[in-house]
Structure 1
C-alpha cells in the first residue's frame, strides 16, 4: 500500500497520481475547493445557539485556569490538570484578546471543528476521491457530537483538528517525500500531544500505515517517520510524567472499562445513539468497499479505541469524549460508502442523518451536562443572588471541594458583583488548584456577618441540614433560613442572623 493521491483503484503502486483534472484539461476547481462547503456548513451549524447552554463544570475549570497569570498556570500544572495545561495557556492568550463571554470561550472549538470538516474532505479526496471527501465532510458537519464539542471550551475539538491535520500531512509526506513535509508532520503531532495526550494513540495507525509503504516507497521512510516523532517525545514526556502522578486526583471519578462501554462508544462520541449507529453502519460498508485503501482511516478509528479500552480495563481511563478525534475518520469511511451511489441520494442520506440528530442537537444546546436531566443552573442561582443581595452580604458553598465548582459558577456569572466569599482562606490561584481552601474555624470567619447566601448542590428542602462538619455547625448555630430557591441541580438559601 502507498499513501498517495487516489483517483481510482487502477493506479500503479508507488506512482504519483496527478491532481484531478477537469474536462478541459486544467485543474478541477471543484476538486481544489472540496473543503469549502463542509467547513461553511459546519461553522453555520456549530455557531447556531453556541451561547445557549451555560458553561458546565469542565468549562468553568477552563475559565478559571485561563483567567490566571502564566506563572499561576505553570504552578497549576504542577498540582492538577497538567495534561491540559498547554490548552489553558492558549486559552489565556485567547481570553486576553477576545474576552471571556460564553461565545468567546467556545469560539476556538467552533473554528477548530469547521476546519476539521474541511480537512476531512481534503483527506477523503486524497485517499478515495473528491465526492467521498465532500460527503465525509458534510456528514461530519451534521453530527450532534460535532456541535457538542464544537461548542465547548475544552481541548477536544482542537485535538480533532490536529489529528486530521497530522494524518493529512503524513499522507503528503509519504506521497511526496521532503523534509519540509516531514517537519510539518512533526509539528502537527507535537501540537496534538500537547493538546490531548490520549490522541497520540493515533500514532499506532500512522505506524502501521508507514510500515505498509515499505514495499513501494524508499527504505528511509520509516526512519524519517520515527525522527519526526522526536519533538513530540521531548515536549510531551514531561507532561506524561506529571499527568501520571496526578491521575488518581484528576480521574478519580472514572471507572474501569467494561465490555458494554465499547457498544455505547458510537453514541457517546456522536451524542446520539441513532446517529452513532448510522455512522458505524456506513463506515463498515465504506471499509468493505475500499479494501486496502481503508487501512489508514480504518486503523485511525480502531486502534485508538482498542488501545484506550485495553488500558481502561486495568486503569480508570475510559472516557468516551477522549476519543472524539476518531469520528472524522469514521466519516471518511462513511463518505466512501456514500460515494458509491449518485450524488443526490447520497446527499439525502447525509440530510436524513442530520434530521435524525435534531432532537439531540436541540438538547445539547440546553445543557452540556450528561444525562441532560442533570443540569446545574449556575446562571439561575447567580441571578437569584444578584437580585437579592445587599452590601455586606456573604456567600457560602457546600460542598466546596467537588467537581460541581459551585463557587466558580457563581463567580463566572456574577463577576465583581458577587458577595464576599467569607470562608475562603486561600483562593484557587494562590493554592495552584481548582479548589479554594476554607478557614479552619468557620464560626470565627462568619463573625459580624448578618446575611449569608448559602449555595448547595441538589434540590434541598432544608439546605442548612445538607452542610456537613464545622461549617454546618457554625451556620446552624448562628443563622436561620429566611427563604429557599430551588433551581435545577442547585439550591440557594438566604440565611439571616
Structure 2
C-alpha cells in the first residue's frame, strides 16, 4: 500500500494574497452600498455628458476644456456603453478603486515590515469620509488614488531589490496612470523620491531610479499636462475656495466630520509623544506616510498662495491612503488590549458620515436632480414645452437636470435650446435669448418651468403666462428647484 502523500499547507504568501483579494472585495462592496441613492450632481453630469460622446468627439472637446478629465471620460464612455447610466453602475468603478486602494495599503504595510498595521490601515481607508466620497462619485479621484497607492507598493518592492529593472518600469507605469487620471497626483512624486533618499542602504541608486521613474511618468503624460496648463482659466472658480486650517487639515480628508478628525488627531499625537519619550525613530512606513501627507499638501497650498487658486479640499484625496497608513500604524503601536477599543471607537465615529453620504441630496449643492427629473417624466406629456432656469450659481442651475437625466425629458420641447454644448467649449448649451424663448414657450398649450434657488423665472414671466391665458396647475418645491406646470 503506497504511503499517503504529505498534506501541503498554504504558504504565508498565499494567505496574504487571499487576504488582499478579500479586502478589495469587502472595500468595494462596503463603498458601493447605497451608492445608487444620492442624486447626480453638477460634476457627475459633466462626466456623463463627456462620456456620451464618441472617443473622437471626446478628444476634440478636451482640446478646449477639461483635458484633465480626458482619460477618465474615455474609460467612462466604454464602461457606460456596457453597464448603462444608473447611479450604481456609473459610480461602481470608483467604488472598485476604493476597494483596490484599501488592498494596496494592506500590501504596502506588509512590504514595509509592518504586518500588524496592515489590516487596521486598510480598514481606515474605508472609514475616512474623503475616500467614501470619492468612491461614491463619478470622477477620477478614486481611480487616481488607487493607481498611486499601488505605485507606492511597486516603489517599496523595487527598493528592496533595486537591480530588478522590471519593477521600476511598473512604478513608472503606475505613476503615469495616476497622473493621467488626476494631474495633482504628480505632487506625491517628490514625496516618493524623498522617501527613497532616506533609505539606509543603496540610497543613491534607489533615489536615482525613483526619480527616473517619476520623470518617465511625467514625460509620458506631458502632452496632457501641457494642454491642461493652457486651460487653467477653467478653475477660476477656485478663487472663492477658502484655504485655511479647516479646509486643508480637516475637510480634505474628513469632510465635515470634525469628531472623527479629532479622534484621529488624538491617536496620532499620542502615538508620536510615546515614540519620542521612548526614543524611537520613525520606521520606513511612518516616514513614507508622513512625507506622502505633508509634501503634496504643502506644495498645493504654496502653489495656491504664489500662483493663484489651485486648491479645493477634494484635490487632496491623494493623501487619504497615507492618513490611513498613519492610523493603522498608530493602532498597531498600542498595547494589545487597547487596539480593539480604539479601532471600535474610530469605526463608531465614522458611521454618521457613512450614512449621511448616502442621502438623496448628499452631493455638493444638495440638489434633488433625480427627484425633479422623475417628477417631470411621470407627469409631463409628449410635446409639452420645458424651460430650465439658467441663472444663479452655474453648478446649481436647473438645466443640470437635463444633462444628468436626459431620458426623463425625452419627448419634451426644450424651447430655449439653440445648439449643443459640444460646440461651445463648455458644458453649457447655447440658448436663445429670453424674449425668443418666451415666444417659443407661448406656442405650447402646456409648459413646464424649472426655477432655480435664485427665484429667477426663465422664459416668459408669470404675468406674460397669465396674460396669454395660462393657469398654473403645478407648483412643487423640491428644495433648491421649483417645478411649475402651466396650462391654457
Give the TM bin, normalised by the shorter chain. 0.7 to 0.9
Report if aligned partners of 1:280, 1:330 keep a CA contact under 8 Å in 2: no
CA distance in 2, matches of 1:349, 1:291: 21
- Shift of residue 269 of structure 1? 1.9
1:456 aligns with 2:456: no
Output one character per residue of 1:75-120: Cα deviation in whole Å (capped at 9) or x when no partner: 2212221111111111111111111111110000011000110110
- The equivalent of 2:5 in structure 1 is none
TM (norm. structure 1) is: 0.85
**Which among 179, 182, 186 is matched to residue 168 of structure 2?**
182
Report if aligned partners of 2:390, 2:399 keep a CA contact under 8 Å in 1: no
Report if aligned partners of 1:138, 1:350 keep a CA contact under 8 Å in 2: no
Output one character per residue of 1:392-446: Cα deviation in whole Å (capped at 9) or x when no partner: 2111111168222533424543506531212111112343431100124334544
CA distance in 2, matches of 1:72, 1:25: 51
CA distance in 2, matches of 1:331, 1:150: 15
TM (norm. structure 2) is: 0.87
- The equivalent of 2:417 in structure 1 is 424
Output one character per residue of 1:44-89: Cα deviation in whole Å (capped at 9) or x when no partner: 3212211111112111111111111112211221222111111111
CA distance in 1, matches of 2:464, 2:59: 36
**Which among 58, 61, 67 is matched to residue 73 of structure 1?**
58
Report if aligned partners of 1:287, 1:298 keep a CA contact under 8 Å in 2: no
CA distance in 2, matches of 1:414, 1:43: 28
- Shift of residue 493 of structure 1? 1.1
- Structure 2: where are the runs of 5+ without partners? 1-8, 276-280
1:117 aligns with 2:102: yes
- Structure 1: where are the runs of 5+ without partners? 1-23, 461-465
Equivalence map 1:128-167=2 (5 Å): 128-167=113-152
Equivalence map 1:84-123=2 (5 Å): 84-123=69-108
Report if aligned partners of 2:387, 2:458 keep a CA contact under 8 Å in 1: no
- The equivalent of 1:407 in structure 2 is 399
CA distance in 2, matches of 1:68, 1:201: 31
1:300 aligns with 2:286: no
Report if aligned partners of 1:453, 1:493 keep a CA contact under 8 Å in 2: yes
Following TM superposition, where does structure 1 have runs of at least 4 consecutive aligned residues deviating by more than 6 angstroms?
468-477
What RMSD over aligned residues (CA atoms) do the two structures have, in Å?
2.8
1:265 aligns with 2:257: no
Alpha carbons of structure 1 residues 472 and 241: separation in structure 2 relative to 1, 3 Å: farther
- Shift of residue 218 of structure 1? 6.5
Output one character per residue of 1:318-370: Cα deviation in whole Å (capped at 9) or x when no partner: 11111112111111122112112355642332222121121221111004646
Equivalence map 1:45-56=2 (5 Å): 45-56=30-41
CA distance in 2, matches of 1:170, 1:59: 33
- Shift of residue 225 of structure 1? 2.6
1:198 aligns with 2:184: yes
Please state whether the residue corresponding to 1:35 is helix, strand or coil: helix
- The equivalent of 1:330 in structure 2 is 323
Report if aligned partners of 1:257, 1:313 keep a CA contact under 8 Å in 2: no
**Which among 356, 371, 385 is matched to residue 380 of structure 1?**
371
- The equivalent of 2:484 in structure 1 is 493
Equivalent residue pairs, number: 465
CA distance in 1, matches of 2:181, 2:91: 16
Alpha carbons of structure 1 residues 363 and 334: separation in structure 2 relative to 1, 3 Å: same
